[in-house]
Structure 1
Amino acid sequence: MKGLIALVDCNNFYASCERVFRPWLHGLPLAVLSNNDGCVIARSQEVKDLGIAMGTPMHHLPREAFERGLVLCSSNYELYGDMSARVMATLREFTPHLEPYSIDESWLSFEGFDRAALPDHCQKLCGVVYKWTGIPVSVGAAPTRTLAKLANRHAKKHTATQGVFVIESANSPDTLALLERTPVSEVWGIGGRVTTRLYEMGIHTALDLARANPKWIRRRFSVVVERTARELAGTRCIDMNDAHDSKQMIMTSRSFGQMTADRHEVAEAVRAHAARGAEKLRRQRSLACALRVTVRTNRHMLHLPQDHDSITLALPRPTDNTFEIVRAAQRALQRLWKDRGIRYQKCGVQLMDLIEATGQQLDVFQPPQPTADREKSERLMSALDQLNGQYGRGTVTVGVQRQNAAWQLRSNHRSKRWSTRWDELPTVRLQ
């Protein structure tokens, strides 16, 4: 019999990260804003209780919420990423079989663990993660990933579980009751359109889907929905560490904090996006064969000159070298630029035609890169990534990146990057 799979999910992760180094925020309604402080992307439970929905624009937040102590935080992804790494490192103390799923979720396999002792083991996990990182987590364990998702959701919603809920069998009375209480729309992997079609066919709950004929489901929907139905019934269709396809393209793009017609400021943004894309390339061990640079104005401000243009360039050879990618992106911007005083709101760099770094096909018409040059490039990129990883993103950049440039994101409510910046480390004052 296979062991259980657990989903560990950090509770209100962004809000929890903000509270780790500022404990006085506990109990206050806390909302995290999107890039440029546009809208709400994360909420503490207190904000949810105020009825503030995800995606609410900042300027639409009700005055009553501020009167009740609403605290706003600009998104601080450097802090969130470091706190996520700390949580993952702690989880590895409890099982060697860990698969990160997102910045705040991980799959854990408890192969070989005594099922009777698993609830206590998971309770201990929650306590240690909170003690070592300050982040509260919930754990749902079950025979399949889809059931583990449901178990985790149940653990979060019901305080009596103390953050842990274990489904030992898909056919137990408690499991069947949970499936019957769960609308099919809340099942992992079931989207809005599929939900509508399932309703039309008389499938309203997770239990209805679990009892449906899988072959019938596949004929009317897809193999993905069929797998979901089988997993709800207790048949594991997705194993830990299944191979994941690499991304076919990498897009780095953000709106500017302010519109700008300054060519040098747009060039700074293009350099930053190209460098960030190259970093992602190396992380997934891929090489890019081409790139596309895009510039765009604000399409809602029709009284201003409009421009939405892009250009695609082939790279001289497949590469993940930051400097080669940045140079190509700058050439593309030079060809795109229009000296007409156009005020741009956004730019982006898309890396395309990605191939595996270990299995690239050499061009018969192009001499291969000399071994010494390739090794030098690899050492340089490794040092670049190590420095930015150790001392914080942006420690070493290609060209100047001014902190007050118009393209930099608005983040008027950003907290300090307490754990990744030397000049922002928390300090202790002795009495």
Structure 2
Amino acid sequence: MLCGYVHSSQSFLYIDEAFADLTGIDDLDGLGRRIRAQVLRGTGIPVGVGIAPTKTLAKLANHMAKRLQAQTGGVVNITNQVKRDWVLRNTDVSEVWGVGRKMKLHLDALGIKTAMDLAKADPWTLRKKFSIVIEKTARELAGTSCLELDEPDPPKQEICCSRMFGKRLTELPPIKEALATYMMRASEKLRAQGSLCKKVRVCIRTGMFNPEEAKYANGVVVDLPYPTDDVRLLTKAAVDAVDHIYRPGFKYSKAEVMLLNLCQPGEYTDDLFAVSQPAEATRVMTVLDQINGRWGRGTLRSASVPTNPDWGMRREMMSQSYTTRLDQLWTISCK
């Protein structure tokens, strides 16, 4: 994905979450077309290019470039107010960067259905009712730049980890191993953005394209006793939940864990007698991440996570890691 944006007299280019200043470039449309052509020629990958006054508008322009690729040629420039208004009017608010499923419901209740509605909403009201993040989003949609060039993305409101099994599974124990493995990765992402999780959704399903196999898919949402980032509690919730949706006699091909109702510490309010995550659990998770950060992912893991599971994804066609694995360096023979 590729998009760019212009901020007042400056110009910026956005490349998969990376922004670069393009100050002084006049022909931005031409630049976008040249970049798109060069990437396509060099990699064979078609990309979308969006040009706009702010980061959030740049993401929106990029979305429109991909959505209307046949009409736009993959390049959308909305520095022009008329074009920008058209894009805002024809974009659902859920497509705006930083607006998740839960926030969309809140905005719908206020009559904010499109990106244009959000751009015209009162920023201070949004800040008091929701957060400074949604306030900045509204201001950015209105054309006022609020995000710095290197400002990190807002925390995700949902985190999902799902994989296809390397082979069909019919028994419950290996499915639980897979869920524990996926939860290990999801919880790493959760702690990396400093969030806590209030609910967990677990799903399993069979293959959907083989007419000879019986079809089945189901999921369940589990409420946690308190907002947490403790992989032990999250894993127990996931593996216990699958007992309620597993049905024998099916060949399962995929499992999924999703962390829902994410919040930052101090951003939630419980009743006076509610249980909160013990300080000891927070310290254990910190040590866990420090060890894995130094010695590699999976060095320290939950006991229910196997080292080399036979249900793991097939990776015969996986590209070699020439730049990060010593055992996969290119070898040159001189004859």
Same-fold call, TM cutoff 0.5? yes
Question: Who is 1:122 aligned against?
Answer: none
Question: Who is 1:363 aligned against?
Answer: 271
Give 1:217's match in structure 2, choosing from 75, 86, 97.
86
1:154 equivalent to 2:66? Answer no
> Once the 2 structures are TM-superposed, how far is the Cα of residue 387 of structure 1 from its aligned partner?
2.5
Deviations 1:103-144 (A, max 9, x none): xxx1135xxxxxxxxxxxxxxxxxxxxxxxxxxxxxxx2469
Deviations 1:302-338 (A, max 9, x none): 3323221111111111000111101111110122222
> Once the 2 structures are TM-superposed, how far is the Cα of residue 282 of structure 1 from its aligned partner?
0.7
> What residue identity is the alignment partner of 2:223?
A
1:27-46 matches, cutoff 5 A: none
> What residue identity is the alignment partner of 1:154?
R
Give 1:348's match in structure 2, choosing from 235, 252, 256.
256
> What residue identity is the alignment partner of 2:20?
L
1:289 equivalent to 2:207? Answer no
- State the structure with more CA Rg: 1
- Change in Cα spacing, 1:410 to 1:225, as seen in structure 2 (3 Å) is farther
- 2:197 touches 2:259 (CA, 8 Å); kept in 1? yes
- 5+ residue gaps, structure 2, are 1-6, 40-50, 52-60, 92-113, 120-142
Q: Distance between the aligned counterparts of 1:413 and 1:204, measured in 2?
A: 32
- Change in Cα spacing, 1:7 to 1:402, as seen in structure 2 (3 Å) is same
> Once the 2 structures are TM-superposed, how far is the Cα of residue 254 of structure 1 from its aligned partner?
1.1
> Once the 2 structures are TM-superposed, how far is the Cα of residue 255 of structure 1 from its aligned partner?
1.0
Name which structure has the greater RCO, CA cutoff 8 Å, separation 6+. 1
Question: Who is 1:395 aligned against?
Answer: 299
Q: Distance between the aligned counterparts of 1:207 and 1:259, measured in 2?
A: 44
- 1:274 touches 1:322 (CA, 8 Å); kept in 2? yes
> Once the 2 structures are TM-superposed, how far is the Cα of residue 265 of structure 1 from its aligned partner?
1.4
Three-state SS of the structure 2 residue aligned to 1:345 is: strand
- 2:322 touches 2:330 (CA, 8 Å); kept in 1? no
- Change in Cα spacing, 1:275 to 1:258, as seen in structure 2 (3 Å) is same
- 1:252 touches 1:276 (CA, 8 Å); kept in 2? yes
> Once the 2 structures are TM-superposed, how far is the Cα of residue 404 of structure 1 from its aligned partner?
4.3
Q: Distance between the aligned counterparts of 1:158 and 1:417, measured in 2?
A: 25
Question: Who is 1:413 aligned against?
Answer: 317
Q: Distance between the aligned counterparts of 1:284 and 1:257, measured in 2?
A: 30
- Change in Cα spacing, 1:328 to 1:205, as seen in structure 2 (3 Å) is closer
- 2:161 touches 2:185 (CA, 8 Å); kept in 1? yes
- Change in Cα spacing, 1:364 to 1:205, as seen in structure 2 (3 Å) is closer
Question: Who is 1:381 aligned against?
Answer: 285
Deviations 1:387-416 (A, max 9, x none): 22333322222124142412x111113355
Question: Who is 2:13 aligned against?
Answer: 7
- 1:293 touches 1:312 (CA, 8 Å); kept in 2? yes
> Once the 2 structures are TM-superposed, how far is the Cα of residue 153 of structure 1 from its aligned partner?
5.3
Deviations 1:259-283 (A, max 9, x none): 1113221111100111111111111
**Structural RMSD (CA):** 4.1
Three-state SS of the structure 2 residue aligned to 1:286 is: coil
Three-state SS of the structure 2 residue aligned to 1:387 is: helix
> Once the 2 structures are TM-superposed, how far is the Cα of residue 288 of structure 1 from its aligned partner?
0.7
- 5+ residue gaps, structure 1, are 10-100, 110-140, 160-169, 171-186, 228-234
Question: Who is 2:240 aligned against?
Answer: 331
> Once the 2 structures are TM-superposed, how far is the Cα of residue 421 of structure 1 from its aligned partner?
6.1
- 1:252 touches 1:350 (CA, 8 Å); kept in 2? yes
Q: Distance between the aligned counterparts of 2:302 and 2:314, measured in 1?
A: 22
Q: TM-score, normalised by structure 1?
A: 0.50
- 1:291 touches 1:352 (CA, 8 Å); kept in 2? yes
> Once the 2 structures are TM-superposed, how far is the Cα of residue 258 of structure 1 from its aligned partner?
1.1
- 1:143 touches 1:236 (CA, 8 Å); kept in 2? no
**Percent of paired sites with the same residue:** 23
> What residue identity is the alignment partner of 1:221?
N
Q: Distance between the aligned counterparts of 2:234 and 2:207, measured in 1?
A: 27
- Change in Cα spacing, 1:405 to 1:210, as seen in structure 2 (3 Å) is same
1:197-276 matches, cutoff 5 A: 213=82, 217=86, 220-222=89-91, 237=145, 239-240=147-148, 244-276=153-185
- 1:5 touches 1:107 (CA, 8 Å); kept in 2? no
- State the number of aligned residues: 259
- Change in Cα spacing, 1:298 to 1:380, as seen in structure 2 (3 Å) is same
Question: Who is 2:19 aligned against?
Answer: 107
> Once the 2 structures are TM-superposed, how far is the Cα of residue 5 of structure 1 from its aligned partner?
4.5
Q: TM-score, normalised by structure 2?
A: 0.62
Q: Distance between the aligned counterparts of 2:180 and 2:74, measured in 1?
A: 50
Three-state SS of the structure 2 residue aligned to 1:188 is: helix
